[in-house]
Amino acid sequence: MLLRHLTSWVIYSLTLTSASAWVSGPIPGTQQSFDSGLFTPIESLARLSSTKFTTLAHPFFPQHSVRIKKSHFCDETVNAYTGYIDIQARHLFFYFFESRNDPATDDVIFWTNGGPGCSSSLGLFMELGPCRVSSNNTTVFHQESWNTNANVFFVDQPIGVGFSYADYGEYVSTSEEAAKDMAAFVAIFFEHFVQFKGRAFHMSGESYGGRYLPLFASAVYDQNVHLKKAGLTPINLKSAIIGNGMTDAFKMILSYYDMACTPASVNPVVDIGACVAMKATAQRCEKWMKASCQDQYDAISCGAAFAYCRTSIGMPFLATGLNVYDVSKPCKGEPSDLCYPQTRVIRNYLDNKWVRQLIGVDSTITSNFTSCNTEVQKAFLATQDMLHPTADYIASLLERGVRVLIYVGSYDWVCNHVGNERWTLALDWNGRAEFASQSLRDWIVDGKPAGKTRSAKGFTFATVTGAGHMVPFDKPKESLQLIQRWIAGKDL
């Protein structure tokens, strides 16, 4: 979910005793000097404690370690784990749930929400996780969770998001920086828990995840080269999965005209006069953003073009009061609710002292939980992180055999299906002609069309009819079947 301000809109604990997994000799100063004699893996999640953290260190990643413990909550039918990825003075919180089917053989899925600055607790407790928060103090079992037949991570990243924090105010302000931390975390986890070595791995995310995920997956793929040289097992990266993503912000901005002024999803919601002006602005903006942002990146001119075009093309829709995440309904709740009052209930649940103690939130976290952190967003805005499309990373992953799924709820406005389909069709890769030549076709759930899709050579674009920005929330059954078919390597 992308953050939305009050006055403007922007796209884009308990401290526990640790047990050390290894301490033997000096930590090598470089990744290339890995010595397997210095490393003793934990080997099995079954060895973890439910009362204290176990620390996973690794000489190949001297700046990173992982604290992890068992945490029985949310889904009593499976083992759950929580902890922190520690990068010196920076600490990223995560949740991990084993598969309800066969955790010893099922694939592993990584999930992150977007923002930038939004907690993956939204994905966990509102969308695809094994439970949903039903009141300030309780959760209920979620039948259509993605851990139905997969092991699933939820990570609060970058620093400052959710229960993640920094000791001295450090922060991450670009997706490239965040990617390094995620790649190291993945490698440490898989190397320690040998039961997952070689297991199929999928990196998924939503919204600003369209910017994050291509970089995260590429970092994992490129890191495999160094792992192999060091005699370590590479990560079996099978796919990247992006839901309602902001992968190409320039094409997305232009698509706001289509969503407001044509029946792309619902009947036009903006008056004719405003639509005529928007169309003219969109034509000028397409040329301006191409010249200033794509042909030759100029930070000042590109920033000005993006700000002007975002406002001019976006404001007429915002003036309608409709939900930017679902054009079929009005925005509800308080501004901090992101148009969904359910997020307030999640915040109240995670503010319970007993919940924080149960999952091992550090006692240094004393502030109220926030679904999205505006300070993180401001840091990313300052670096113009969004103004660097990551579609070319998608192309490079595809050309290396990593499959990519782009799915989009048909009612989303902020990261809509029009803009996402445009960049997928324009993507320059060795399967472009075959992909673009495919007509959209129905994909089916329970004998009924669930959306439209096209695919070729490991690249799939799919819409989910009647869903908004958060597809697993609006269409849980269709979302689960989409993911189950995808990780099984089947066409939709």
Check pLDDT > 50 for residue 123. Answer: yes
pLDDT at 8: 40
Q: Model confidence over 50-66: pLDDT tens digits?
A: 899 988 888 788 888 88
Q: Which of 58, 91, 192, 469 is catalytic?
A: 469
Please, which pLDDT band fits residue 240 given cuts at 50, 70 and 90? very high
Range of lowest pLDDT (14-18, 184-188, 246-250, 381-385): 14-18
Q: How far is CA 344 from the centre of its chain?
A: 21
Q: Given pLDDT bands bounded at 50, 70 and 90, which one contains residue 24? A: very low
CA distance 396 to 248: 16
Tell me, what's the pLDDT at 192?
85
Q: How confident is the model at residue 37 (pLDDT cuts 50, 70, 90)?
A: low
Residue 44 has what pLDDT?
Answer: 80
Interatomic CA distance for residues 260 and 275, integer angstroms: 8
**Is a pLDDT exceeding 50 seen at residue 377?**
yes
- What pLDDT is stored for residue 58 in this prediction? 81
Q: Is the pLDDT of residue 430 over 90?
A: yes
Looking at the predicted structure, is the pLDDT value of residue 30 above 60? no
Query: In this predicted structure, what is the pLDDT of residue 14?
Result: 25
Residue 236: which H helix or E strand, with range? strand 236-243
Residue 194's pLDDT is 82
* Mean of per-residue pLDDT scores for the chain: 90
pLDDT for 326: 97
Q: Which residues of 251-276 are buried (b: 16+ CB within 10 A; e: fewer)?
A: bbbbbbbbbbbeebbbeebbeeeebe
Residue-level pLDDT at 3: 56
Q: Would you place residue 13 in the very low, low, confident or very high pLDDT band (cuts 50, 70, 90)?
A: very low
Burial of 229 (0-12, 13-18, 19+ CB in 10 A): exposed
Instruction: Specify whether the backbone of 77 is left (phi greater than 0), alpha (psi in -120 to 50) or beta.
Output: alpha
Strands 108-112 and 151-155: parallel
Among 45-59, 323-337, 424-438, 457-471, name the one with the lowest average pLDDT: 45-59
Burial of 233 (0-12, 13-18, 19+ CB in 10 A): middle
Strand partners, 322: 330
Catalytic residue among 412, 417, 455, 474: 412
Query: Residue 411: what pLDDT?
Result: 98
Q: Report whether the peptide linkage leading into residue 158 is cis, meaning its omega lies within 30 degrees of zero.
A: yes
207 classed as catalytic: yes
Give mean pLDDT, residues 130-138.
93
Q: pLDDT (tens digit, 9 = 90+) per residue, 63-121?
A: 888 899 998 899 989 999 999 999 888 999 999 999 999 999 999 999 999 999 999 99
Strands of 305-348, DSSP E: 322-323, 326-330
Helix (H) or strand (E) holding 249: helix 249-261
Q: Are 213 and 205 in contact (CB under 8 A)?
A: yes
pLDDT of 355 higher than 50: yes
Contact 278, 261 (CB under 8 A): yes
The catalytic residue among 99, 121, 207, 255 is 207
**CA distance to 10, 206, 273, 280, per residue, from 393 (Å):** 24, 17, 39, 32
- % of the chain at pLDDT higher than 90: 75
The confidence band for 22, taking pLDDT boundaries of 50, 70 and 90, is very low
Report the predicted TM-score, pTM, of the whole model to 2 decimal places. Answer: 0.92
HEC readout, 192-217: HCHHHCCCEEEEEEECCHHHHHHHHH
Active site residue 417: no
Instruction: Classify the phi-psi angles of 25: left when phi > 0, otherwise alpha if psi is within -120 to 50, otherwise beta.
Output: left
Name the residue type at position 286: E
| Residue 9 banded pLDDT, cuts 50, 70, 90 | very low
- pLDDT band of residue 169 (cuts 50, 70, 90) is confident
Higher pLDDT, 491 or 5: 491
Q: Is residue 10's pLDDT more than 50? A: no
Mean pLDDT calculated for residue range 175-195:
89
DSSP code for 369: P
